[in-house]
């Protein structure tokens, strides 16, 4: 009976799976927007591989944002 109570408590503390992936998608979108804005307003003129194109910077920014927002492992209680 104790195992069932522990699982119920763990489930109550864990956000739903969809919410964790939504956070990852939002982080990727924010990363893409920030990198694209940086490349557009501050970036260089063709010599920098990451900021020479707004599209390239946005792709790299979305990958970094997704990695930052990726759901980690749950900590044991």
Helices assigned H by DSSP within the chain? 2-13, 17-41, 54-69
Q: What is the pLDDT of residues 3-59, one digit of tens each?
A: 655 555 555 555 566 678 888 999 999 999 999 999 889 888 768 887 778 899 999
Cα–Cα distance measured from residue 73 to residue 65, given in angstroms and rounded to the nearest whole number: 18
> For residue 48, how far is the Cα from the chain centroid?
24
First to last CA, the chain: 18
Q: Tell me the domain boundaries of the chain.
A: 15-69
Write down the pTM of the prediction: 0.68
Q: Which pLDDT does position 26 carry in this prediction?
A: 94
The number of CA neighbours under 13 Å toward the Cβ of 6 is 5
């Amino acid at each position: 009976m104790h195992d069932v109570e522990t699982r119920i408590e763990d489930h109550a503390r864990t956000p739903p799976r969809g919410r964790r992936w939504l956070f990852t998608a939002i982080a990727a979108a924010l990363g893409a927007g920030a990198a694209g804005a940086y490349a557009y307003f501050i970036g260089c003129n063709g010599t920098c591989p990451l900021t020479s194109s707004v599209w390239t910077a946005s792709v790299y920014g979305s990958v970094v944002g997704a990695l930052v927002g990726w759901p980690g492992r749950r900590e044991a209680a």
